[in-house]
A and B are shown apart, each in its own frame.
Chain A
Amino acid sequence: MEKPTASAPAELQGLRGTYLYCVAEGDVDPPFAAAGLEGKEVYAIEYMGLVAIACDCPPSRVEDAARVEKWMIAHQSVVDKAMERFGAVLPFGFGRIIAGDSGGNRVREWLESSHGILKRKLERVRGKAEYGVQVFWDQEIMTRRLMRDNQRIEGLRKEGEEKRGGTAFMHEIKLEKVIKEDLAARANECFRFLYRGVSELCEVKVERVYGSAEGGRMIANISCLLKDTQIKALGEILEKVNDEEGIYVRFTGPWPPYSFV
């Protein structure tokens, strides 16, 4: 059983490849230059005003996670630079390679066949950037606050103090259930407030990936397509959400519009 190595497998040796970063629109004079994966020189492939940013990249097999991490950062950096230069870009995800010697021609063919669609997509994102909004929820703090501020729960708790034995335990279970339900309702309310506020302002995409961090568990993860002039308004909505004790907002960006292509 041969262990894969970081080199071109026999079948692909000698084969070339064209690695794709993004599509943009505009003038390539002066030429767009940047360092891509493995420091390779990035260039532009044009067709009728559309520009695909690419670099040469032979297909290879890699197992080194650290190396791939570097590649991804390089990818993001090239797309960022392209966005600075050209304004609107349509980024490719990571790892799109056209295998073979005639990558340039294939790309030009694709730019031609998809010309209309690409132009429309560019218009959709022109003047805007993607921003990420995540809301974190600290279960401990939110529980403590609920126990402190909620009359009904305080009442239930007091009721429980007078009970004994198995009956007391049943009551405890009930209390736990009520707390859990109230917390869930509060989290839902928080999401609804955020979503409604933001979608009035701009295009929103709800992400399916949730995680946790120091601030707690994620209860919202959305991507927004915003103009510069809208950042302040969004910031104000997020400020309101973040102000609440036990809830933390994370606002990242600007990103190239990965989620809106």
Chain B
Amino acid sequence: MEPTRDITLSDVLNRLLDKGLVINADIIITVAGIPLVCVALRAVVAGIETMLDYGMMEDWDRRIREGQVK
């Protein structure tokens, strides 16, 4: 049996979203909106509908105001 490069979005999501090198959390931000949309993407792939929660955006806003984003 040989490996195929015929991959699905699910394959890509499962690698790109949960894995990879870790860098000192202090100096990194993940672009706001990306994790939220990624949750929606992953949920769609898994066949469940998830609503983008405005509450999560509010939390992001608050964190910026509190200077947690450098």
Contact = CB atoms under 8 A, between A and B. Distances in A.
A and B touch in the complex (CB under 8 A): yes
Interface string B38-67: 101100101000001010010001001100
A242 B28 CA distance: 43
A97 B30 contact: yes
Interface in A205-261: 207, 209, 211, 231, 235-236, 238-239, 242, 249-255, 258-259, 261
B8 to A, nearest CB: 9
A129 to B, nearest CB: 9
Interface string A90-103: 11111111111000
Contact of B17 (A59, A91, A93, A97): A93
Given A1-B54, A110-B24, A110-B27, A258 B16 contact: yes
A237 to B, nearest CB: 9
Interface stretch (A62-70, A152-160, A167-175, A182-190): A62-70
A61 interface: yes
Tell me what chain A mostly uses at the interface: helix, strand, loop, or mixed.
mixed
10 contacts: A12-B64, A64-B37, A68-B41, A93-B19, A95-B38, A98-B28, A121-B21, A252-B11, A253-B4, A261-B21
Given A22-B21, A62-B34, A254-B5, 17 more contacts: A20-B23, A59-B29, A61-B32, A65-B40, A76-B15, A90-B21, A92-B21, A93-B17, A94-B38, A98-B27, A110-B24, A121-B21, A131-B3, A236-B1, A252-B3, A252-B6, A258-B20
State the 4 A-B residue pairs at the shortest beta-carbon distance, nearest first: A93-B20, A94-B16, A61-B33, A258-B19
Interface of A: 1, 4, 9, 11-12, 17, 20, 22-23, 57, 59-65, 68-69, 71-73, 75-76, 90-100, 106, 110, 121, 131-132, 207, 209, 211, 231, 235-236, 238-239, 242, 249-255, 258-259, 261
